[in-house]
């Protein structure tokens, strides 16, 4: 009995040590963030995180513990093969999760969850998203870890099981079953009411430290089981009456609007250009005396510029419905990936079509990616242009046709287009892997420099397009809205809020007073209602969208990320982490009521998504 109990202890200990080593690797891979931590905080990462390591180790130990309980009835060689095969498979999966998680955090700022699995339906685009990562280094790391861990497992199993002798089943089976059942204690994390969850290991005001304490394998499998498919709102903060009062306070309206379009144009053409990853930080970058977005910066003087706009989410599949449907992004889900829900959204293309507009959507890539295609079809776009509509010789990007090619096709197609039209162009050249069809403007091969070069190219493509558009017959009757689908972590500032700050610019001959700047805080979801009010259409269905030019509108912006939210008001910014149930970034002096307003938005918005 002693040898078998010793094996159980060693086997469980192997997994605990495995996850401790994985945490060391995580901290080493993100050394720049780790260097900012104190020794006390680093100790706290391991001290608090080991509870989740115990939990995941217990999950992985259940089957071997059960097999050992009945080892007297199983041939030794067969038992060894079963336990080794199972353990090797689990080692393979956990190492894959650990290695992929290293780059996922580097890109998105949170641990790997079920989100990337949604993109496996379009493997070419999924590959394009990750191809700029250090794949060779990650693959080599994966192989080294797999070989080392497998050798250790093989040594543990053969060294112990080979020496087992027949023992009396009567005392051993109930003891070993009791030990197996006792794994429920580390699995749950305690004997208390609350089971193990991410907040169990949160301990610091430093969000990186909290994330480092979370076991990435536990986090991944937890998201698979409980993630976006959960029908219970995890963001329930406030009672119903208080919730309604807070929402009502945020959505005051006078039902009037200040017109910024020429009153002589009854049905202006509308072109929405959704610029991939167009962070405001890029517009402020100057490298060796060269602006990253010189054309856009110059165009700001010709239109209406909104310098304090915020994206609703952090990915394209969240940005499109935010812009075209005025619908807020979800933190752990994406409504566009669920056609039964997204089909219920209001959408600008339908409203304009009903009022006599022709509608079209242009994108150089695959519209199947992230289920965008289903959203576009349910939006009744009369024409959808995608990768297959471009000559293959122009497929010079892993994503598809580059921005300048897409812009040129739009100009050609609209040279004799019936007016009025409502059009949307989604760009792609500033997406990873940041490949561009021109010589680099900025020297360097690091990720940030690649991103800035891609931004520079995208800016030049846009500028050339606007130059050509000014000579089109439709220019004088057209409003062009340039806005990002989402922001970007590059260049890193250490502030979550900056990653969601995006510029917006209104251009075109339909503007009454170009050369304006609107300094108020606005949200990506406000575009829909604001635009509809400007062209004299009903915006009632867009209940999450505010009219920016309503004199009574309260100016605020709300965004969500993996499992938290940000709430921006004049001179007050806050970022709340739902896992740790705490503020992780604050700027200004938000009052307790401001925090309640942010929580009310998170609660009501996610419930609305669940109810769709």
Residues 113 and 190 in one domain: yes
Q: Does the N-terminal peptide bond of residue 287 adopt cis geometry, omega within 30 degrees of 0?
A: no
294 assigned to some structural domain: yes
Distances (CA, A) of 88 to 4, 159, 612: 20, 16, 42
Does residue 257 sit in the same domain as residue 220? no
**610 within domain boundaries:** no
Among residues 533, 553, 573, the one where a domain terminates is 553
Element at 118 (helix H, strand E): none
Q: Is residue 394 part of a domain?
A: yes
Q: What is the DSSP string of 67-94?
A: HHHTGGGS-HHHHHHHHHHHHHHHHHHH
Is 430 part of a structural domain of the chain?
Answer: yes
Same domain, yes or no, for 290 and 215? no
What's the start-to-end Cα distance of the chain, in Å?
Answer: 57
CA dihedral (12, 14, 17, 22) positive or negative: negative
Q: Which residues pair with 507 in a beta bridge?
A: 480
User: Are both 299 and 215 inside the same structural domain?
Assistant: no
Q: Are residues 161 and 280 in the same domain?
A: no
Same structural domain for residues 43 and 189? yes
Q: How many other CB atoms sit within 10 Å of the CB of residue 466?
A: 22
Q: What does the angle CA 490 – CA 334 – CA 525 come to, to the nearest 5 degrees? A: 70
What's the pLDDT at 69? 78
Residue 288 pLDDT: 93
CATH number at residue 511: 3.40.720.10
Asked, for residue 597, whether it belongs to a domain, the answer is no
Which residue, of 553, 570, 597, is where some domain finishes?
553
Residue 123, pLDDT score: 52
pLDDT value of position 164: 62
Whether 79 is in a domain gets the answer yes
Are 274 and 171 in the same domain?
Answer: no
Cα 275-30-584 angle, rounded to 5 deg: 70
Q: Output Rg (C-alpha) for the chain, integer angstroms.
A: 27
Q: How many domains does the chain have?
A: 2
At residue 122, the pLDDT reads 54
Same domain membership, residue 364 and residue 462: yes
Other residues' Cβ atoms within 10 Å of the Cβ of residue 34: 17
Residues 183 and 274 in one domain: no
- Alpha-carbon distance 321 to 372, whole Å? 10
Which positions of the chain have pLDDT values less than 70?
Answer: 1, 71-73, 108, 114-135, 160-170, 172, 191-194, 199, 205, 226-230, 370, 396-397
Residue ranges making up the domain that contains 327: 253-553
In this structure, are 272 and 215 located in the same domain? no
Q: Is residue 281, in this structure, part of any structural domain at all?
A: yes
Instruction: Pull the structure tokens for residue 257.
Output: 């609007």
- Res 228: pLDDT: 44
pLDDT of residue 229: 44
285 and 190 share one domain: no
Specify the residue for token string 């080794």: 84
65, 180 Cβ separation under 8 angstroms: yes
In a domain, 132, yes or no: yes
State phi, psi for 548 to the nearest 5 degrees: -60, -35
**DSSP letters spanning 557-574:** EEEEETTEEEEEETTEEE
Which of 209, 226, 243 is where one domain is finished? 226
Q: Are residues 366 and 429 in the same domain?
A: yes
DSSP class of residue 261? B
pTM here is 0.76
């Amino acid at each position: 009995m002693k040898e078998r109990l010793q094996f159980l202890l060693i086997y469980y200990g192997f997994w605990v040590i495995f996850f401790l080593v994985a945490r060391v690797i995580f901290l080493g891979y993100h050394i720049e963030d780790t260097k900012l931590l104190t020794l006390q905080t680093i100790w706290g990462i391991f001290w608090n995180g080991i509870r989740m390591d115990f939990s995941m180790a217990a999950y992985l130990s259940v089957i071997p513990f059960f097999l050992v309980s009945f080892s007297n009835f199983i041939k030794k060689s067969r038992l060894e093969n079963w336990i080794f095969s199972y353990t090797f498979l689990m080692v393979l999966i956990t190492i894959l999760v650990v290695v992929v998680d290293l780059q996922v955090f580097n890109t998105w700022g949170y641990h790997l969850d079920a989100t990337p699995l949604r993109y496996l339906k379009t493997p070419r685009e999924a590959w394009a998203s990750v191809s700029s990562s250090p794949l060779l280094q990650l693959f080599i790391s994966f192989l080294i870890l797999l070989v080392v861990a497998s050798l250790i497992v093989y040594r543990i199993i053969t060294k112990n099981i080979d020496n087992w002798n027949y023992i009396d089943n009567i005392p051993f089976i109930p003891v070993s079953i009791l030990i197996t059942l006792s794994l429920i204690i580390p699995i749950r994390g305690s004997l208390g009411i609350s089971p193990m969850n991410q907040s169990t290991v949160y301990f610091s005001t430093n969000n990186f430290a909290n994330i480092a304490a979370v076991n990435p394998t536990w986090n991944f499998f937890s998201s698979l089981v409980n993630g976006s498919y959960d029908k219970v709102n995890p963001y329930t903060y406030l009672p119903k009456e208080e919730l309604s009062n807070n929402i009502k306070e945020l959505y005051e309206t006078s039902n009037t609007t200040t017109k910024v379009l020429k009153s002589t144009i009854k049905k202006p053409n509308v072109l929405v250009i959704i610029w991939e990853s167009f962070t405001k930080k890029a517009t402020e970058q100057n490298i060796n005396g060269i602006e990253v977005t010189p054309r856009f910066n110059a165009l700001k003087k010709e239109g209406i510029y909104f310098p304090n706009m915020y994206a609703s989410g952090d990915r394209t599949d969240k940005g499109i419905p935010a812009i075209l449907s005025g619908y807020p992004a979800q933190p752990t889900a994406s409504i566009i990936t669920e056609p039964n829900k997204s089909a219920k959204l209001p959408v600008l293309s339908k409203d304009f079509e009903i009022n006599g507009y022709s509608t079209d959507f242009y994108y150089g890539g695959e519209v199947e990616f992230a289920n965008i295609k289903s959203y576009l079809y349910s939006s009744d776009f009369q024409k959808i242009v995608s990768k297959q509509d471009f000559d293959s010789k122009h497929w010079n990007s892993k994503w598809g046709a580059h921005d300048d090619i897409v812009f040129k096709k739009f100009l050609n197609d609209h040279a004799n287009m019936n007016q009025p039209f409502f059009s949307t162009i989604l760009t792609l050249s500033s997406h990873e892997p940041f490949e561009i069809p021109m010589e680099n403007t900025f020297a360097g091969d690091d990720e940030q420099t690649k991103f800035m070069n891609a931004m520079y190219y995208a800016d030049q493509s846009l500028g050339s397009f606007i130059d050509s558009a000014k000579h089109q017959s439709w220019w004088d009757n057209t409003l062009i809205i340039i806005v990002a689908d989402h922001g970007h972590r590059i260049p890193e500032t250490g502030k979550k809020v900056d990653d969601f700050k995006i510029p917006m610019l209104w251009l075109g001959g339909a503007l009454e007073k170009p050369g304006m700047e609107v300094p108020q805080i606005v949200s990506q979801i406000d575009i829909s209602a604001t635009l509809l009010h400007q062209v004299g259409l009903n915006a009632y269905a867009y209940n999450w969208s505010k009219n920016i030019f309503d004199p009574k509108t309260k100016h605020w912006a709300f965004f969500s990320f993996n499992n938290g939210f940000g709430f921006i008001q004049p001179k007050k910014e806050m970022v709340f982490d739902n896992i740790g149930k705490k503020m992780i970034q604050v700027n200004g002096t938000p009052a307790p009521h401001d925090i309640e307003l942010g929580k009310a938005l998170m609660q009501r918005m996610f419930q609305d998504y669940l109810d769709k």
